[in-house]
Structure 1
Amino acid sequence: MTNERQGSSARLSPYCALVTGASRGIGAAVARRMAREGAGVIVHYHRSRERAEAVAAECLSLGAPFAEVAAADVRLSSDIAALKRALEHAGRMPDILVHAAGTAHYGLLEDLEEDEWDDIQHVHLKAAYGLAKRFGPTMSWRRHGRIVHVSSVWGVVGAAGEAAYSAAKGGLNGLTKALAREMAFAGVTVNAVAPGLVETDMLAELDRSELEELREAVPMKRFADPDEVAELVRFLTLGDAGYITGQIIGLTGGWRM
């Protein structure tokens, strides 16, 4: 992962990948995919330590040279600063940063409380700002690095009943493009993947009829698997993707073309 183009078989060893929200869902799938590619992995979690430790154990079994868990509330700048100090002290400053932590809220805007709005913005957008601010300068100084934000198709087209989530992901897309311009001089790429519906526990609040209606709207008649999102993230971290930056890349099964 340098300014020189690497071969298509290039692996991520011996790089270090920090994956936020890696105790479950897309984040866990990304952590495992990074491990299979040979990267060391920092499995970030907020509250689910046991699940994070299980993911770290999987990463080690898949070939990661190291896999460690790290707790932080990414909504808080102080927690991100503490995380940076801990990783710096351990010699684990990431070459790859994947921000997959997230949460959702379903309901009309008129029923959305201000603290709920703020929470969604903080976990998706403010966290991305804090992570880039703390870890981006080291990547620039090293003249290599990959930042990938897990966004959403709703950040591109909007979703009724998910105004806060759509706004946060739309802001994340704008931040992705701005950071890409700022960091391109150092050979650091910044991209976002924007999946449609993915088979994770974030769909738990939808009932069967709602899920079936959404599935029927997808040309491929199915939702994405977290591993498919992880595979796209993996590609964006390889040397062959070194000329791809500032892009919001959809993964929607044809739902949005």
Structure 2
Amino acid sequence: MEQKYVLITGASGGIGRSIAQKLAADGYSLYLHYNKNEQAIMEMMSELASSNVELIPIQADLSSKDGYRKLAENIFSLDAIVLNSGSSAYGLITDMEEELVEAMVQLHVTSPFLIGKMLLPKLMNKKHASIVAITSIWGQTGASYEVLYSMVKGAQNAFVKALSKELAPSRIRVNGIAPGAISTPMMEEFSPEDLQHLQAEIPMGRMGLPHEIAETTAFLLSEKASYITGQIIGVNGGWYT
């Protein structure tokens, strides 16, 4: 069977790592993008060494203007892209520094757009190809004190919907996953009391787990989702419907 290659941006984070583990188990070879956490990538590659797939680490800062190019120039054969890089930004809109706004837009909006632009010719050479963007519940409904993060995640959702229509004739499917509260290191910024209050707001009464995002990603990349494109799949325990 022909080997399939998937690019995962932000592969060193909690969700990215889980996606990489699931896709490697499914037999995909992986480009593992990271920015600063090289140690996490090396540990994961050691862990996945027995998977009998090719693992290619790529370092690039996607919050900088040339980061997307450094990443894309190291991609060769490609069947799918998982756009997972991201970071949060908490604070009132009046507290947001211009440099932070620019970096957040570059990371979540401009870099994914330009990565897609550069890598689409490789996807178009494939019989079937797919793009999955990991967005956020706040891109669907918005969050006070996270206006900047909500804005860039909302842009990702619009990107998915528009690009899916443009690429459908080329047999490339584009979908998004909008996680709710997922138990990752990002949630460590909250106090135990805040987390307890948060979970009480979620109808299922708990936070999601990274592997639940990974399973949804694997489904959307597979032929089981062959007629699904342009969708934002909420994985949020009923928190937003």
CA distance in 2, matches of 1:53, 1:159: 35
CA RMSD of aligned residues (A): 1.5
**1:82 Cα deviation (Å)?**
2.7
CA distance in 2, matches of 1:184, 1:124: 23
Aligned to 2:38: 49
Q: Given the superposition, is the C-alpha separation of residues 130 and 18 from structure 1 closer, same or farther in structure 2, using an over 3 Å criterion?
A: same
2:115 is equivalent to residue 126 of structure 1: no
Unaligned runs of 5+ in 1: 1-11
2:18 is equivalent to residue 29 of structure 1: yes
1:155 corresponds, among 131, 139, 142, to 139
1:241 corresponds, among 209, 214, 225, to 225
Taking the TM superposition and a 5 Å limit, the aligned residue runs for 1:1-257 are 14-61=3-50, 63-88=51-76, 93-257=77-241
**1:13 Cα deviation (Å)?**
6.3
Number of aligned residue pairs:
241
CA distance in 2, matches of 1:194, 1:175: 13
Unaligned runs of 5+ in 2: none
**1:75 Cα deviation (Å)?**
2.7
Q: Given the superposition, is the C-alpha separation of residues 13 and 161 from structure 1 closer, same or farther in structure 2, using an over 3 Å criterion?
A: farther
TM-score, normalised to structure 2, is 0.95
**SS in structure 1 at match of 2:207:** coil
Q: Given the superposition, is the C-alpha separation of residues 64 and 78 from structure 1 closer, same or farther in structure 2, using an over 3 Å criterion?
A: farther
**SS in structure 2 at match of 1:142:** coil
CA distance in 2, matches of 1:27, 1:111: 29
**SS in structure 1 at match of 2:74:** helix
Listed one character per residue, the Cα deviations across residues 38-87 of structure 1 (whole Å, up to 9, x for unaligned) are 000111100111111111222333x2411121111123453322322222
**1:117 Cα deviation (Å)?**
1.6
**SS in structure 2 at match of 1:55:** helix
- Alpha-carbon contact 2:108-2:156 (below 8 Å) kept: yes
- Alpha-carbon contact 2:86-2:107 (below 8 Å) kept: yes
Letter in 1 for 2:191: D
- Alpha-carbon contact 1:77-1:130 (below 8 Å) kept: no
CA distance in 1, matches of 2:100, 2:192: 25
Letter in 2 for 1:75: S
CA distance in 2, matches of 1:64, 1:154: 37
CA distance in 1, matches of 2:163, 2:119: 12
Listed one character per residue, the Cα deviations across residues 98-142 of structure 1 (whole Å, up to 9, x for unaligned) are 011110011111111111122222211112102111112221233
CA distance in 1, matches of 2:65, 2:172: 23
CA distance in 1, matches of 2:155, 2:23: 26
CA distance in 1, matches of 2:218, 2:58: 21
Counting aligned pairs with the same residue, the percent is: 33
